[in-house]
A and B are shown apart, each in its own frame.
Chain A
Amino acid sequence: MQQVPLEHALLVAAILFGIGLTGLLARRNLLFTLMSIEILLSAAGLAFVAAASRWGQADGQVMFIFILVMAGAEVSVGLALVLQIHHALKTLDSDAIRQLRG
Chain B
Amino acid sequence: MATLSAGAFYVFSGLAILATLLVIVQRNAVHALLYLVVSFLAVAGLLFVLGAPFAAALEVIIYAGAIMVLFVFVTMMVSPGQEAATADARWGLLKALVGPAAIALLLIVELGSVLVHAPAAHVGADVISPKEVAVALFGTYVLGVELASMLLLAGLVGAYHLGRRMLQRDREGETG
Contacts and interface: CB of A to CB of B under 8 A. Distances in A.
Nearest to B85: A93
Nearest to B20: A19
Given A42-B43, A53-B123, A87-B169, A34 B71 contact: yes
Contacts of B71: 31, 34-35, 75, 79
| Contact residues of B: prevailing secondary structure | helix
Nearest to A16: B20
Contacts of A95: 90
Interface in A47-97: 49-50, 52-54, 56-59, 61-62, 64-66, 68-77, 79-84, 86-87, 91-93, 95
A79 to B, nearest CB: 5
Contacts of A61: 52, 54-55, 128, 133, 136
Interface in B24-77: 24, 29, 32-33, 36, 39-40, 43, 46-47, 49-52, 54-55, 58-59, 62-63, 66-67, 70-71, 74-75, 77
B155 A65 contact: no
B105 interface: no
A19 B21 contact: yes
Nearest to B50: A53
B175 interface: no
For the side of the interface on B, what is the size category?
35 or more
Contacts of A64: 52, 55, 58
Given A16-B20, A61-B133, A8 B9 contact: yes
Interface of A: 1-10, 12, 15-16, 19-20, 22-23, 25-29, 31-32, 34-36, 38-39, 42, 45-46, 49-50, 52-54, 56-59, 61-62, 64-66, 68-77, 79-84, 86-87, 91-93, 95
Given A53-B52, A54-B121, 4 more contacts: A19-B17, A38-B36, A46-B46, A83-B166
